Amino acid sequence: MIRILAKVLIFNLLLAGKLFAQQTPYESGGKNVTATYEQCISFYRQLCTQFSGITLEESGMTDAGFPLHLVLLGSERKPSLKKWHAENKCILFINNGIHPGEPDGIDASMLWVRDLLVQRAEGSIPDNIGIAIIPVYNIGGCLNRSPFQRVDQNGPEEFGSRGNSQNLDLNRDFIKCDSREARSFARLFHQVDPDIFIDNHVSDGADYPYVMTMATTQHNKLGGPMGKYLHDVFEPALFEQMRQKGFPMIPYVNVWGKDASLGWKTFFDSPRYSSGFAALHNVFSFVPETHMLKPYPQRVEATYTFMQSVLDYCRVHAEAIQSQREAMKQYQMQQQDFPLDWETSDSNYTPLEFQGYRYKKFKSGVSGLDYYSYDRQDTFRKTIPFYNFSFPTVAVKRPLAYVVPQGWWKVIELLQLNQVEMYALPEDDSIDIEAYQVKEFTSGERLFEWHHVINSMKLEKKCYRKKFRRGDWYIPLNQDKVRFIIEVLEPQGMDSYFYWNFFDPVLVQKEGYSEYSFEPLAADYLNQHPEVRTLLNEVIRAQPEKMKTASAQLEFVYKHSPYAEPAWNEIPVFRVVNAASCLRDFLELDRKPLGNKWDE
């Protein structure tokens, strides 16, 4: 009898909790309204007064002048990151509103958190899991609301804009950190140290019947034990869970206004993107993308279901997820070759059962001319190729360490922001290093996210003993940030600091000469160094047209003399190597154009 009364009491308490828990603006607005920034934060504050098991903290500043917030949700009364790490909980980190015109995650997270708290007594929040959520990341974009900013999106009634308060696309800013949001996120990301990261989005490239698609870090690029586990186990399990819960899901449809029936290549998330950034820190990353043309309630429900599916999987497999991350760190401590750029294979693919709409020719009501679109009345189902295998096109050998001179403080600050272990040299010292000399480069003609990125380059590697000053920064690679360090400091990295213009000043010559005064010095130098005269003659014979002027030959002598400016075109990231590796005096490295190919 006592047990029956206890169950009745628990049921009544749960019912009272459900009635007492507030509605979201999405619910009270007829499920076609998204919460404003103020409503969202107010909602979470109210939950903190109603329930234990949730905290809301401020975690850094944004360009909008408002603080970034972090919600912590756990089975204990007052969740904390310190407690989670001490208890080795598996941490799920969710980001919402990086593009506030894609608000599905904002509203779905509000619903999900409330429901988890109401059902907490029923074990809705596993004891072995901690959930961390950014309610709204791009606050500036969220404040800039309009019903017109995504012309091809089916609800809600109005929503935020893609650009932040500096009109930056924050999903291109995780490496360069031009925004306060990105800097606050980096600090927060390392404080949370998640095992799994979800960044909620809405897609806008093609039309198809599915409400939800999913992009993940490309498994070959992730590599090692984590890449294999992601491809063989984790991803298939999430697809199956979503199917069972009524939202059959397919990989992100990386087709932009074209015929999806021909198949497509996987979206390749370079480190500028949230999931690509997370991959550099050995975190499983998922980008659920609901479909823009589906009704808003379906999209919110699908996002809710996806987050719950990940939680359900973690509940059972938390230990396996964490062990894969630890194995990955150990793998990288031994890894010697690090890929920096990738190509998606045109021949290797995964067969994918796909239901789609026929891609047909229609007559334009605007111009009267033909255009192509999708016919929702003409569906098909077929097996298509999903090209989700990639191979490296550029790789580097792991050095012992790097040294970055202290004058490049912008780079130093970004490394420290990402908790890279580094040490200021205690005194002046000379170190054997490899240095990259930029022989040729091209930069983008079109401005891209505040930068004219380096599209292509030709490098020459040279070895010598270089003097460094006290306070220059020594960065060893026997640390678990090794992959991040290599990918941002090696110039050929897809999103390296060199790519994003942090070292552009070295590409501009600061010293020079007047021909009338340098001419006699150059002649004397050639007389004293016949080997340079021999080299000059060889170049004249090989490139007679280029070397036919006196100025061209004088320039050649200048560049091969001690008068040449040593810092010109030398990238100030120096690889610490052993003596044997310095026997490779010069190594030509070519990199093909990259540009903005992932943003086309």
| Tokens at 147, concatenated | 């019903």
pLDDT at 386: 97
Provide the pLDDT for residue 152: 85
How do strand 201-203 and strand 284-291 relate by DSSP bridges? parallel
- Which pLDDT belongs to residue 566? 85
Task: Work out the average pLDDT over 534-555.
Answer: 94
Q: Can you point out the beta strands (E) in 315-428?
A: 337-344, 350-363, 370-387, 390-397, 401-404, 423-424
Query: What percent of the chain clears pLDDT 90, i.e. is strictly above it?
Result: 88
Cα angle 282, 112, 90 (rounded to 5 degrees) comes to 30
Residue 276 CA to residue 283 CA, distance in Å, equals 10
* Backbone torsion region of residue 177, taken as left when φ is above 0, otherwise alpha when ψ lies between -120 and 50, otherwise beta: left
Least confident window among 16-30, 124-138, 531-545: 16-30
The closest of 137, 9, 118 to 64, measured between CA atoms, is 137
Distance from C-alpha of 60 to C-alpha of 39, rounded to nearest angstrom = 20
Pick from 111-115, 128-132, 460-464: least confident:
460-464
- In Å, how far are 367, 371, 373, 377 from 363, measured between CA atoms? 8, 6, 10, 17
- DSSP secondary-structure letter at 176? T
Query: What sign has the CA pseudo-torsion 512, 584, 576, 417?
Result: positive
Spatial contact of 213 and 252, defined as CB atoms under 8 Å apart: yes
The single-letter DSSP state of residue 472 is: P
Q: Tell me the pairing of strands 401-404 and 574-576.
A: antiparallel
Could you tell me which of 471, 382, 374, 480 has the C-alpha nearest to residue 423? 471
Burial pattern 339-374, b for ≥16 Cβ within 10 A else e, equals bbbbebeeeebeebebebbebeeeeeeeeeeeeeeb
Q: What is the DSSP letter of 267?
A: P
Element at 522 (helix H, strand E):
helix 515-528
Say what the pTM is. Answer: 0.91
432 membership: H or E segment, kind and range? strand 429-443
In sequence order, what are the residues at sequence separation of 6 or more whose Cβ sits closer than 8 angstroms to the Cβ of residue 531? none
Do 294 and 281 contact (CB within 8 A), yes or no?
no
Q: For the beta carbon of residue 11, count every other beta carbon within 10 angstroms.
A: 10
Residues 7-32, mean pLDDT to the nearest whole number: 69
pLDDT higher than threshold 50 for residue 383: yes
Residue 404, both tokens? 């970055």
- In a 13 Å sphere around the CA of 98, the CA atoms on its Cβ side amount to 23
- The predicted pLDDT at position 185 comes to 98
ω into 426 cis (within 30 of 0): no
| Mean pLDDT score across all residues of the chain | 92
Contact present, 190 and 91 (Cβ < 8 Å): no
Least confident of 267-276, 423-432, 471-480, 561-570: 561-570
Q: How far apart are CA 288 and CA 239, in angstroms?
A: 11
Query: 52-106, pLDDT tens digit by residue?
Result: 999 999 999 999 999 999 999 999 999 999 999 999 999 999 999 999 999 999 9
20 pLDDT more than 80: no
Q: What tokens appear for 151 in the block?
A: 């012309």
Residue 566 or 145, more confident:
145
DSSP state letter for 266: P
* Residues 597, 600: Cα–Cα separation, whole Å: 5
Query: Does 540 have pLDDT greater than 90?
Result: yes
Pairing mode, strands 90-95 and 129-134: parallel
CB neighbours of 143 closer than 8 A, spacing ≥ 6? 36, 37, 64, 160
Closest CA to 108 of 95, 99, 121: 95
CA atoms of 130 and 318, how far apart (whole Å): 11
Tokens of 338: 């690090």
Tally of CB atoms within 10 A around 49: 7
Handedness of CA 340, 346, 350, 356 (dihedral sign): positive
Q: What is the pLDDT of residue 585?
A: 34
Concatenating the DSSP letter of every residue in 503-518 gives TGGGGS------HHHH
DSSP state letter for 570: B
β-pairing, 473-476 vs 401-404, is antiparallel
Asked if 113 and 133 count as a contact pair (C-beta separation under 8 A), the reply is yes
At residue 592, does pLDDT exceed 90?
no
Report whether pLDDT(475) > 60.
yes
What is d(CA 354, CA 250) in angstroms, rounded to the nearest whole number? 8
Residue 577 has what pLDDT? 86
- Bridge-based pairing of strands 90-95 and 196-199 is parallel
Which residues touch 186 (CB under 8 Å, ≥6 apart)? Answer: 174, 177, 417, 418
> What's the pLDDT at 594?
32
Tell me how long the chain is.
Answer: 600
Q: What is the separation, in whole angstroms, between the first and last Cα of the chain?
A: 68
